[in-house]
Amino acid sequence: MYYSEEIESEMVKFHNSLTEKHKRRYAALEAKKLGQGGIKYVSELLGCHRNTITEGKNELENKEIEEFNDQAIRAKGGGRKRCFEKIPELDQAFLSVVQEHTAGDPMNVEIKWTYLNQAQIVEGLKAKGIKVSMPIVKQLLDKHNYVKRKAQKQLATGHTKNRNEQFENIDRLKQEYSNAGDPIISIDTKKKSILATCIEQENSTQLK
């Protein structure tokens, strides 16, 4: 990764606001700044072809770059189609990959994150027959309002017995309740509540 996720997002927005001519020159300029590997990185991030970046580089190196000409600008939509246009099922496939690995802020329903990293999401989409790069996954996360979760704990709390089994059992119970049409409530609390105690007892019973 050459730039932070925030900078990448701003680069994509700025690139999409430009004309076709200025898009290739901006992409070429960014690739030139990055040096080796820059063309591949910028091509995947901005969704433009390597040849387009090369053409932009040639234009930048030409000392007599022509003046802006409206008639020479390609009509809107005439460029290389982005993944979102070429793969109409991309959004649905992405949501199905992260669905079982999504959590959120109990104090704000609009804030959510996924426990999967970008490489894992790429592999999840690949398993569904869709090949995309990590910059595209980053755009999907932004598009569907996923935020990066900030780590709070500085030290490990140690090993918890049957930790994985507990979460697997919770996922199984959630699926059973969902299939039966019953409501599912998620509560995040520091102190152990009656509901938390009931869940613990249910987990303990299932594990036995």
Which one of 30, 62, 80 terminates a domain? 80
111 shares a domain with 72? no
Determine the pLDDT at residue 110. Answer: 74
Determine the pLDDT at residue 180. Answer: 84
101 domain residue, yes or no: yes
121 shares a domain with 62? no
Which one of 80, 102, 120 terminates a domain? 80
60 domain residue, yes or no: yes
Of 32-36, 40-44, 83-87, 198-202, the poorest mean pLDDT is in 198-202
Distance CA 57, CA 54 (A): 5
94 shares a domain with 43? no
116 shares a domain with 54? no
Range of the domain at 67: 5-80
64 domain residue, yes or no: yes
97 domain residue, yes or no: yes
Model confidence at 208: pLDDT above 70: no
Helix axes 90-98, 134-143, angle to 10 degrees: 80
9 shares a domain with 71? yes
> What stretch of H or E contains 9?
helix 5-16
Determine the pLDDT at residue 121. Answer: 92
Determine the pLDDT at residue 70. Answer: 46
63 shares a domain with 12? yes
Determine the pLDDT at residue 123. Answer: 92
Maximum mean pLDDT: which of 63-67, 76-80, 83-87, 172-176? 172-176
Rounded to the nearest integer, the mean pLDDT of the chain is: 76
Look up the pTM and report it: 0.41
Query: Over the stretch 31-51, which tens digit does the pLDDT of each residue have?
Result: 888 888 888 898 888 888 888
75 shares a domain with 30? yes
Query: Over the stretch 54-82, which tens digit does the pLDDT of each residue have?
Result: 888 888 887 545 544 444 555 555 555 56
95 shares a domain with 76? no
Q: What average pLDDT score do residues 86-105 get? A: 86
131 shares a domain with 103? yes
76 shares a domain with 10? yes
61 shares a domain with 41? yes
15 shares a domain with 69? yes
Determine the pLDDT at residue 48. Answer: 87
Give me the helices (H) in the chain, please.
5-16, 20-34, 38-46, 50-61, 83-86, 90-98, 118-127, 134-143, 163-179, 194-207
189 domain residue, yes or no: no
150 domain residue, yes or no: no
Domain count, the chain: 2
Distance CA 59, CA 19 (A): 15
